[in-house]
Structure 1
């Protein structure tokens, strides 16, 4: 889009990346200031695919990639030449991600992949996928996994869309049948994919902690306006629920400030990101449910425009339509599942943040 092109030419698509790779070379604090101003203005910080390509994969390559991988992929990510999706979950490897069964066997100078991924967001739109595959079936579960960069434009890959509750098909199944990957497309070293995957999930779970609360504040303002439009903003029961939502958003602001402080001290997102992910995803289910409650019967047959993002009711200044609230309500259900379910987040917090004993294994 024209807006994305403007961000790209100004270095604001990836303001923290080194200038040599097309970024802005800005500090962590400067990055947050830019993101906060964008959020307040209600404008996106990039295109729809940039969450996968820049925030997830790009930052992961900066941390784990070879110089050749950085120089080849990073400029292409910024220019939007490649579109990416994430290949983690499988039918038998969801919350237990280390149970990955997609096989990768080295044949000369390339890996040959066979198996399946599922719940792949935007898989029907992407031309590349970063995926976890088992490269050593004899190693312990966490030790025999590699992180591979795969070109999806080959006969050995089939994508099947999955229809969601909303009627759309954002998620997909991806089937690999003798798909090939150059051996140099392993990120972080062979059989070291678990460390790379956890690093990427850290970016996915925690990197937005200092920015997302601003978007939630804007969403709360839309909720308050919806209550006024429906004439129930003086109802004491509704006011109590609105006060609860407001207090949760303020808690998220302070969680974000704590994350920013760690960034400024030079720490990458770690297990602390699980706290924010758990908090915002559980909150978002409740706040969108309240929005649908306020709509009443209008939520049954929603009208108006669909939200520009699955993560908020819409951009600043957009109409407060029943369609945007209903679609966001449906999408919010998935927030407690993707990037690690709420149960997984609680385990991470207990074991890796609080230092509690590990959850006992069944049997």
Structure 2
């Protein structure tokens, strides 16, 4: 495969590069250039505000959500143009993390299932960064089994009344809107009684409680619903067809996470290139070189697998189960790299203060935050099941509750 730019692609690249050079928030360049894993923190200013300002500028210039149709705030660009933009945006692309869930997961779901008026109303402000969206799926009692959810929605006139709880909702504390999957019929098997909605996160009865993580950050939240009223016009898909609707979200989620989840490879390569241990330069150690070579191959494979997925989207295809591969590889790789770098530091690996720790303590922070990457968007075990059953065609797991009405599934004595 030839990855050189065609004349048209070269012209697009120059246009993008020139626009970024003239419009990028250069005042943030130093902070964004620092190696980082997880949510970016600014020394001065709020990351959400900075992200919204950059997204709005991109939108005004015609560079937001490049692959989206123009009528929804995008550019109608080709997959390769989207890749070129990401390459040229560079460090400023880190400001897009705030919008990953909305633009990468909620947006495609609305495009597939919302009415035309709803699309025209909600997609442009999502693309411009005016509105931030979150995804309300996981629940305390369901674990990795999304279909085991218990948040219920009951029809009352032309509205639905929602009660229940969601957990591990990324960005809920600063989101304006969210997509929500609920149980509307407990008398049928768990996958058949679900219905999807979208709602204003400022609706009466919605309560968001941030969860403090081991890393000190607060990216995830608990969200409680108490008699929350949602109009039927905000339903996505048919009543009882929520599981099918959710597959669009979940497949896009795994593609977005697998494509964007940092592996830490560049950080570990730079670190080892400059590290001198008690036995000499780290790169003189055959074991270190072997580790770096293995991670380099995986990192390259993830990049080009992501490009293949983008090409599939350009043909109008829904992201497939193959995208679970990217997430399954990237999550453990990030954790392995973090642990290896910390071990290379010896006793100094216990230091976490960025002012005194080697590599500004980035690998220590990575050790604390990396486990979430193996859970968010589906655990490693779920990813392996998806790959085994849907990609390789292996026999499925035995599921004793598959055809049992949800209200008959035992909840005690496990």
The interval holding the TM-score normalised by the smaller chain is 0.7 to 0.9
Q: Per-residue CA shift, 1:13-56, capped at 9, x if unaligned?
A: 21011111211111223222222333xx3321653421122111
Q: Is residue 397 of structure 2 the alignment partner of residue 346 of structure 1?
A: no
Map 1:38-53; keep pairs closer than 5 Å: 38=89, 41-44=90-93, 46-53=95-102
Bigger radius of gyration, 1 or 2? 2
Q: Per-residue CA shift, 1:210-268, capped at 9, x if unaligned?
A: x549x65xx42331221233212212222222122112212223423433443344422
Residues 179, 264 of structure 1: alpha-carbon distance in 2 compared, 3 angstrom cutoff: closer
How far has the Cα of 1:136 moved from its partner?
1.6
- Structure 1's consecutive aligned runs of 4 or more residues displaced over 6 angstroms after TM superposition are none
SS of the residue 2:398 aligns to:
coil
Q: Is residue 68 of structure 2 the alignment partner of residue 22 of structure 1?
A: no
Residue 151 of structure 1, aligned match among 194, 200, 206: 200
CA distance in 1 between partners of 2:257 and 2:374 (Å)? 16
CA distance in 2 between partners of 1:5 and 1:257 (Å)? 26
Report what 1:124 is aligned to. 173
Count of matched residue positions in the alignment of Structure 1 and Structure 2:
344
Question: Is the Cα–Cα contact under 8 Å of residues 55 and 128 in structure 2 kept in the other structure?
Answer: no
Report what 2:83 is aligned to. 32
- Larger deviation: 43-52 or 26-35? 43-52
How far has the Cα of 1:281 moved from its partner?
1.4
Residues 134, 334 of structure 1: alpha-carbon distance in 2 compared, 3 angstrom cutoff: same
CA distance in 2 between partners of 1:112 and 1:264 (Å)? 38
Residue 190 of structure 1, aligned match among 211, 225, 239: 239
How far has the Cα of 1:154 moved from its partner?
3.2
SS of the residue 1:176 aligns to:
strand
CA distance in 2 between partners of 1:90 and 1:270 (Å)? 24
SS of the residue 1:51 aligns to:
helix
Q: Per-residue CA shift, 1:273-296, capped at 9, x if unaligned?
A: 112221111222212222222333
SS of the residue 1:357 aligns to:
coil
Q: Is residue 257 of structure 2 the alignment partner of residue 229 of structure 1?
A: no
SS of the residue 2:267 aligns to:
helix
CA distance in 2 between partners of 1:145 and 1:78 (Å)? 28
Report what 1:322 is aligned to. 360
Report what 1:70 is aligned to. 119
CA distance in 2 between partners of 1:267 and 1:208 (Å)? 18
Report what 1:249 is aligned to. 299
Q: Is residue 320 of structure 2 the alignment partner of residue 282 of structure 1?
A: no
CA distance in 1 between partners of 2:60 and 2:83 (Å)? 19
CA distance in 2 between partners of 1:33 and 1:167 (Å)? 35
- Larger deviation: 44-53 or 6-15? 44-53
CA distance in 2 between partners of 1:221 and 1:98 (Å)? 37
Question: Is the Cα–Cα contact under 8 Å of residues 199 and 270 in structure 1 kept in the other structure?
Answer: no
CA distance in 2 between partners of 1:320 and 1:252 (Å)? 28
CA distance in 1 between partners of 2:378 and 2:321 (Å)? 12
CA distance in 2 between partners of 1:265 and 1:281 (Å)? 28
TM-score if structure 2 supplies the norm length?
0.77
How far has the Cα of 1:167 moved from its partner?
2.3
1 or 2, which has the higher helix percentage?
Answer: 2
CA distance in 1 between partners of 2:260 and 2:172 (Å)? 25
**Uncovered stretches (5+) of structure 1, i.e. residues with no partner:** 306-318
CA distance in 2 between partners of 1:107 and 1:49 (Å)? 35
Map 1:90-169; keep pairs closer than 5 Å: 90-169=139-218
Residues 301, 243 of structure 1: alpha-carbon distance in 2 compared, 3 angstrom cutoff: same
Question: Is the Cα–Cα contact under 8 Å of residues 35 and 45 in structure 1 kept in the other structure?
Answer: no
CA distance in 2 between partners of 1:185 and 1:281 (Å)? 34
